[in-house]
């Protein structure tokens, strides 16, 4: 379930005035997308449930900041991402990397590797750490540039590129490993 939901303008307006039924309606509408995104990033049900709770509290206390009711989906998604990033930062998972380190994966090359028929992206993302998974997800799934990722995660743009490159190298290596790919070792999976 994604954030492409339709919440009636009337419900949003009532929620902004503190109507408990309207707030409950929004909670019911967004609880699954918020949980799914948090679980996708953190791979931990308990922490995803904590994110859900935190995001919904933020929704209840901050929904009046949504001036355009058509932007509720984007606002909820942004609040969810920011909450996930706060949790990762609190756990000291985002460590700055030396800007002199090289990276060598371009966006088109990365997409071609990830979209290969031999990849089970969900399975491989499970094998990355939170920081790598977040950078790969924001870049390949959400379409963020490394500049946008750096601003979102409060890291350097070079750091974003290096983390992405390292993650792609790991994923590419795993894709050629029979234990993870389900294919015989030695097959060429690159396109």
- Examine residue 96 and state whether it is found in any structural domain, yes or no: no
Residue 161 Cα distances to 77, 97, 152, 188, angstroms = 23, 10, 14, 25
- Examine residue 72 and state whether it is found in any structural domain, yes or no: yes
Q: What count of other Cβ atoms lies within 10 Å of the Cβ of residue 158?
A: 18
- Examine residue 187 and state whether it is found in any structural domain, yes or no: no
- Per-residue model confidence as pLDDT tens for the chain (191 residues): 678 888 999 999 999 999 999 999 999 999 999 999 999 888 889 999 999 999 999 999 999 989 888 899 999 999 999 899 888 877 754 444 444 444 555 555 555 555 555 556 666 777 788 888 888 888 887 888 999 988 888 888 888 888 888 888 877 776 666 565 554 434 444 43
95: tokens are: 């460590």
Instruction: Tell me how far apart the alpha carbons of residues 187 and 32 are, in angstroms, rounded to a whole number.
Output: 39
- 77 shares its domain with 135: no
- 59 shares its domain with 120: no
Q: Which of 29, 59, 90 is the last residue of a domain?
A: 90
- Examine residue 164 and state whether it is found in any structural domain, yes or no: yes
- 53 shares its domain with 117: no
Q: Which of 90, 119, 139 is the last residue of a domain?
A: 90
- Examine residue 188 and state whether it is found in any structural domain, yes or no: no
Q: Which of 90, 123, 155 is the last residue of a domain?
A: 90
- Examine residue 111 and state whether it is found in any structural domain, yes or no: yes
- Examine residue 54 and state whether it is found in any structural domain, yes or no: yes
**Which CATH number do you get for residue 74?**
1.10.1740.10
Instruction: Tell me how far apart the alpha carbons of residues 141 and 135 are, in angstroms, rounded to a whole number.
Output: 10
- 170 shares its domain with 132: yes
Domain membership of residue 175 as a residue range: 107-181
- 16 shares its domain with 81: yes
Q: Is 13 exposed, middle or buried (0-12, 13-18, 19+ CB in 10 A)?
A: middle
Q: What is the pLDDT of residue 94?
A: 45
**Which CATH number do you get for residue 135?**
1.10.10
- Examine residue 2 and state whether it is found in any structural domain, yes or no: no
Among candidate residues 124, 127, 150, the one with its CA nearest the CA of residue 138? 150
How many Å separate Cα 110 from the centre of its chain?
Answer: 17
Residue 114 Cα distances to 16, 48, 70, 108, angstroms = 41, 25, 32, 10
């Amino acid at each position: 379930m994604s954030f492409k939901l339709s919440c009636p303008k009337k419900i949003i307006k009532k929620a902004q005035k503190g109507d408990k039924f309207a707030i409950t309606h929004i909670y019911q509408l967004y609880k699954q997308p918020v949980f799914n995104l948090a679980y996708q990033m953190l791979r931990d049900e308990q922490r995803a449930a904590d994110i859900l709770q935190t995001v919904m509290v933020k929704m209840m206390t901050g929904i009046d900041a949504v001036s355009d009711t058509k932007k509720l989906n984007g606002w909820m998604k942004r609040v969810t991402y920011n909450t996930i990033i706060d949790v990762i930062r609190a756990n000291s998972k985002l460590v700055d990397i030396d800007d002199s380190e090289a990276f060598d994966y371009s966006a088109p090359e990365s997409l071609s590797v990830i979209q290969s028929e031999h990849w089970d992206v969900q399975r491989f993302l499970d094998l990355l750490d939170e920081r790598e998974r977040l950078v790969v997800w924001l870049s390949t799934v959400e379409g963020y540039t490394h500049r946008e990722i750096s601003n979102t995660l409060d890291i350097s743009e070079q750091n974003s590129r290096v983390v992405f490159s390292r993650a792609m190298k790991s994923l590419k290596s795993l894709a050629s490993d029979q234990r993870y790919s389900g294919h015989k070792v030695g097959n060429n999976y690159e396109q």
